[in-house]
Amino acid sequence: MAFVGPVLGLLFAQPLALAVGLAVCMSLVALAGNYVFNVWFEAWEARQTVRGRSLRRRLAQSWPRRSKGLWHLRLR
C-alpha cells in the first residue's frame, strides 16, 4: 500500500489520503474474498474421500479464477 497509494494519487490526480484510503479498501476486499474462498475450499476438501493435496487440488486452490475448467472435474 505504501507504493500503490501514491501511484494511484499521481495517476488520478487525487490527494494522497484519498488514494491511500482507496488502496486500503481494495486490499480489504481482496482479503475478504480470499478468506471466504479458502473457508469454502477447506470445507469442500474435508468432505472428500481421498486425503492429501494432489497437484490438481493445489492448482485449484491457488488459482480459483484461472482454473474455470477444473471445477467441472473431480479433484482427486
**pLDDT averaged over 10-residue windows placed end to end, the chain, 76 residues:** 80 86 88 88 85 82 58 50
State the pLDDT at residue 28. Answer: 92
CA distance 32 to 25: 11
| Cell digits of residue 68 | 474455470
Is residue 50 helix, strand or coil?
coil
Count how many domains the chain has: 1
Q: What is the pLDDT of residue 67?
A: 45
Q: What pLDDT, on a 0 to 100 scale, did the predictor assign at position 49? A: 84
Give the domain extent around 36. Answer: 4-72
Q: How many CB atoms lie within 10 A of CB 60?
A: 20
pTM over 0.85: no
